[in-house]
Amino acid sequence: MSILWETAFIFVLAAAAVWWAGTRLPAYVVALSEKTGVGQGLAGMLVLGGITSLPEFATGTTAAAIGVPLLSLNDILGSASLNLLLLALADMALGEKPLTSVVARPVTLIQGVLGMTLFALVGAAIGIGGGDWGGPASAWSIAIFGAVVVALFVSGRAERRPMWQVVNPPDLEVAEESRRKQITAGKLALVLAGLASIILVGGVTLANAGETIAEETGLGTGIVGLLIIAVATSLPEASAIIGAMRHKRYELAIGEIFGSNMFNLAIILAIDLVAPGQGVIEQAGGFEIAAAMLALVLTGVFVIGLIERRDRTVLRMGQDSITAILIYFSGVALLVSLAS
């Protein structure tokens, strides 16, 4: 059996493990939310988003340590756009109404706007450059990490102090109270840690297998990071969204994606700390700026959908999801042309 086929088999096994753990994760995050009183949007952002970002952290730091930090950065930016595409597919699974019309809490909107701000900061940092100051990481990487911390703090404050309420709340089947709420806090923590470990190990295996597949097929670093590795490390988000939608936890699904993208951008600092030589922001160029802008625009599309809350569907999706799909594939086509 050739190396390519052996690697593909490992890829499938790891994907199955990640999918199994990811689809079960939302139910336990909901139980944690109900036990602690933390809202679903914040729980999705902090807990679910943080756990599903573990593969990006592991693969990003590993790739940076062996001298290919740009592969890590392109993985992060590619995963961000792909995660947002997953929201459109989740919208299709809902079918009855657009996903953005049934999520009616200010914290989700704020998470989206903060995410757009962070992607704009990354694009500006790459375009301006000059962040090397002789320290262990570039000034831009430190600034991006600090901005992520502030964004998480602002999101948490918005969850505790909502600024407005919806006049006409969505009329959908209400999610049942989690059957796992009765689990003790200690057991809940152990289960979450176990599922997180499966996702971490499986995600790293997926990414490593993806790199091998990319090498065997002769694809370039930019496209490898943006597409193949991004697809591999986005499987935890995909399975988590499916689990959240199955349990009718729509706010959790959107919060998970917005939160995961925030956590992923914080990984840029870790990449800089372990990568030898020049900072990853200084090495990036037009390709990475375009990738960051694609993620920014896709986030903006869903933010507009959350503001408008239109209840009309086309092909079982909201207009924002259809727009996001068109923009995503157009953006990927542009990036492929830039890479070639």
Residue-level pLDDT at 322: 93
Query: Would the pLDDT of 171 be above 70?
Result: no
Residue 178 falls inside a structural domain: no
What CATH code is carried by the domain that includes residue 110?
1.20.1420.30
* Selection from 119, 72, 125 nearest residue 274 by Cα: 72
Residue 179 falls inside a structural domain: no
Residue 173 falls inside a structural domain: no
Residue-level pLDDT at 69: 83
The mean pLDDT value for 280-302 works out to: 93
Contact 79, 234 (CB under 8 A): yes
Q: Which residue has the higher pLDDT, 41 or 257?
A: 257
Residue-level pLDDT at 175: 45
Residue 172 falls inside a structural domain: no
Residue-level pLDDT at 118: 97
Query: Would the pLDDT of 121 be above 90?
Result: yes
Query: Would the pLDDT of 158 be above 80?
Result: no
Residue 177 falls inside a structural domain: no
Q: Where residue 107 falls among pLDDT bands split at 50, 70, 90?
A: confident
The mean pLDDT value for 264-291 works out to: 89
Domain count, the chain: 1
Residue 21 falls inside a structural domain: yes
Q: Can you give the residue range of the structural domain that contains 268?
A: 1-165+186-339
Q: Which residue has the higher pLDDT, 294 or 16?
A: 294
| Cα–Cα dist 259/255, whole Å | 6
Q: Which residue has the higher pLDDT, 182 or 57?
A: 57
Q: Where residue 127 falls among pLDDT bands split at 50, 70, 90?
A: very high
For every residue of the chain, which 3-state class applies, written as one string? CCHHHHHHHHHHHHHHHHHHHHHHHHHHHHHHHHHHCCCHHHHHHHHHHHHHCHHHHHHHHHHHHCCCHHHHHHHHHHHHHHHHHHHHHHHHHHCCCCHHHHCCCHHHHHHHHHHHHHHHHHHHHHHHCCCCCCCCCCHHHHHHHHHHHHHHHHHHHHHHCCCCCCCCCCCCCCCCCCHHHHCCHHHHHHHHHHHHHHHHHHHHHHHHHHHHHHHHHCCCHHHHHHHHHHHHHHHHHHHHHHHHHHCCCHHHHHHHHHHHHHHHHHHHHHHHHHCCCCCHHHHCCHHHHHHHHHHHHHHHHHHHHHHHCCCCEECCEEHHHHHHHHHHHHHHHHHHHHHC
| Cα–Cα dist 43/152, whole Å | 11
The mean pLDDT value for 271-300 works out to: 90
| Cα–Cα dist 290/265, whole Å | 15
Residue 6 falls inside a structural domain: yes
Residue 193 falls inside a structural domain: yes
User: Which residue has 């922001």 as its token pair?
Assistant: 281
